[in-house]
Amino acid sequence: MYRSHNCGELRMDHVGQEVTLSGWVQIGRDLGGMTFVDLRDRYGITQLAFNLDDNADLCMQARKLGREFVITAVGKVRERSSKNPDRPTGNIEIEVTELKVLNAAKTPPFTITEETDGGDDLRMKYRYLDIRRNAVKDNIIFRSKLGLETRKYLTSQDFVEIETPFLIKSTPEGARDFVVPSRLNPGQFYALPQSPQTFKQILMVGGMDKYFQIVKCFRDEDLRADRQPEFTQIDCEMSFVTIEDILNTFEGLTKHLFKYTLDIDLGDFPRMEYDEALKRYGSDKPDLRFDMEFVELNDVAQNAGFSVFDDAELVVGICAEGIADSYSNKDMKKLTEWMQRPQIGAKGLVYVKFQADGSIKSTVGKFFDDDQLRAWGAKFDAKPGDVLFIVSGEAEKSRKQLSELRLEMGRRLGLMKKGDFKPLWVIDFPLLEWDEESERFHAMHHPFTSPKQEEIEKMLNGDHETMKSLKADAYDLVINGAEIGGGSIRIHDRELQSKNFDLLGFTKEEAEEQFGFLLGAFEYGAPPHGGLAFGFDRLCAVMNGQSSIRDFIAFPKNNQGRDMMIDAPSPVDQTQLNELKLELGEIETKEEA
């Protein structure tokens, strides 16, 4: 009754057939004697044709159709006189004989086209309209396919998909929990999982030696651009495995996903130690689509009387190719200011321009002669036309700053090519991070991560300084500078786990109170195990060369964590609060807050 075909499938082969199509009116064009309507559904767009001379009533009816009206059209497929090669259905049109309006529509608040004029919040408020746009629709369909391929691959490797609860007790992954009051237990709260971490470890103790789940996780973090309070992971855990087994298994998964959704063969993934990544790229998630590696200059740049360098822990630079003549003094000044913004916080930016004519221009020309600067250039293999950018100061900060500049230059020079994928395993992360401010250790990954086998003895018996240098069996999968996944080999021994909680500042009682169930489980035959989780939303975005995860989520939240469509969060009724035995106290109204 509604459709014999969809709006994306009719071709020359169908010419002469009578068909019924249903969909939304994309646009109407009235050319006097002829009226054309583009009819759209999930599958594509088909042109409907109405001839004034043949059927004046029908033609008048077609002219009244507004954008996004839902209609059914019956008619005959015919060859188009002016074809549209950009559209799969562009060779044919439907000579309509019957037209039915199923539902009228108000004029949409933004255009439903590839490039829309709608702002983010407006698009989210009217998400049902946004989802009609190819840009969003295709992403959501891609996501579905990626989920399916994930399940195919992992089940083919004997993984079992197991659901874990959403109403749990807090798991410390470093963010705040969303809490849910319990009506039956007044004054008590569940937490929504930041990840199923402890549950999947318990499943290993339960003998389910290969677990996975495509699962929602919840983190009440301060919202940075492109963070969602709820997001999805491909969460995995395996027993009786070494780090090698895990990296190989999930390299296999990643290759499968690229192959079966994008038809791209990723070669074997390189591996890099965390320390090396920081030294060479200033980042634990380097974008390897381009080189621009860091070169340290302490030996050649210090002790020449330039105090900024002399006082620095690290003098480090990158070489941007071929921009010496196109970057004016003004451009350089702008770039310096860009580096000095609070987000980056560099004190300044030194540059050395090797101009095409062989001359050299530098902000430190007073302190270093051309021969010295040329010697610097040689360390970078710089050619005429290249520019060195150099920062200095505390090592960690300088590396971070230069890493930002490296990425910015990569963007400006067009080195981050779409369709180019450079995966990387970053391995051997530190176990603990010392926080000067709170004078405490934090878990670099999470508290269940194991130190490397050869570090266990040091961890159990070493002093405070030793703890700072412990390396973990923890790894991240990075693609094109985005962290796609991370995980670790876990501690499976009660004593070592207790020691870790102790280092992280938990008292014995706190550890018992929060993780007694896990410590207890470790006493009943816990196998060696480890795993990882992929950020599913991020993986979707990276695979499609997009920077925002939002358009891969059917109903995302905005930068303030609000769902613009249903307008959540929102106050609840007093009766609900009473049932929960919750009193709101001072936070009476939102306006006051």
Which residues contact ligand ASP by CB under 6 A?
173, 195, 197, 486-488, 531-533
| 215 phi, psi to nearest 5 deg | -140, 145
Query: Taking the CB of residue 2, how many other CB atoms lie within 10 A of it?
Result: 10
Least CB distance to ligand ASP at residue 505 (A): 20
Shortest distance, position 404 Cβ to ligand ASP, whole Å: 24
Closest CB 531 distance from ligand ASP, rounded Å: 5
CB half-sphere exposure, 428, CA atoms < 13 A = 11
* CA angle in degrees (0–180, nearest 5) for 360-364-368: 75
H/E segment holding residue 199: helix 197-205
The H-or-E segment that residue 333 falls in is helix 329-340
Q: Which two tokens stand for residue 133?
A: 């746009």
Of the CA atoms within 13 Å of residue 269, those in its CB half-sphere come to 25
Question: Would you say 139 or 195 has its CB closer to ligand ASP?
Answer: 195
- For the bound state, the minimum distance from the C-beta of residue 468 to ligand ASP, rounded and expressed in Å, comes to 22
Instruction: Give me the least distance between CB of 362 and ligand ASP, in Å please.
Output: 44
The candidate with the shortest Cα–Cα distance to 369, out of 308, 433, 301, is: 301
Enter the tokens of residue 205: 């103790």
- Give the Cα-Cα-Cα angle 583, 584, 586 (nearest 5 degrees): 130
What is the Cα–Cα distance from 227 to 549, expressed in whole angstroms?
8
Q: How far is the CB of 486 from ligand ASP (least distance, A)?
A: 5
- Look up residue 132 and give its amino acid: R
Whole-angstrom distance, CA of residue 535 vs CA of residue 236: 12
Nearest distance, CB of residue 540 and ligand ASP, angstroms: 17
Closer residue to ligand ASP, CB minimum distance, 58 or 532 = 532
Nearest residue (CB) to ligand ASP, 5 versus 445 = 445
CB of 140 to ligand ASP, least distance (A): 24
- For the bound state, the minimum distance from the C-beta of residue 243 to ligand ASP, rounded and expressed in Å, comes to 13
State which residue, 197 or 403, has the beta carbon closest to ligand ASP: 197
Least distance from C-beta 374 to ligand ASP, angstroms?
47
Of residues 199 and 258, the one with the C-beta less far from ligand ASP: 199
Task: Look up residue 271 and give its two tokens.
Answer: 């591996």
How many Å apart are CA 339 and CA 481, to the nearest integer?
Answer: 20
Q: How far apart are CA 498 and CA 186, in angstroms?
A: 31
What is the spatial distance between Cα 457 and Cα 459, in angstroms, rounded to a whole number?
5
Q: Judged by CB, which is closer to ligand ASP: 28, or 535?
A: 535
- Which lies closer to ligand ASP via its Cβ, residue 174 or residue 505? 174
CB of 474 to ligand ASP, least distance (A): 8
Can you point out the beta strands (E) in 31-88?
34-41, 44-51, 70-79
Closest CB to ligand ASP among residues 229, 531: 531
- The residue number whose beta carbon is nearest to ligand ASP equals 195
Rounded to 5 degrees, φ, ψ at 444 are -65, -40
Which lies closer to ligand ASP via its Cβ, residue 352 or residue 532? 532
Residue 568's beta-bridge partner residues? Answer: 563
Burial group, residue 86, by CB count within 10 angstroms (0-12, 13-18, 19+): exposed
Angle at 587 between CA 584 and CA 590, to 5 degrees: 125
Is the CB of 197 or the CB of 480 nearer to ligand ASP? 197
| Nearer of residues 118 and 531 to ligand ASP, judged by Cβ | 531
Smallest distance, ligand ASP to C-beta of residue 514, A: 16
DSSP assignment of 268-328, as one string? PPPEEEHHHHHHHHSSSS--TTS----EE-HHHHSSSS-HHHHT-SEEEEEEETT-TTTS-
Give the integer Cα–Cα distance in Å for 196 and 234. 11
Q: How far apart are CA 213 and CA 232, in angstroms?
A: 10
Q: Which is nearer to ligand ASP, 28 or 486 (CB)?
A: 486
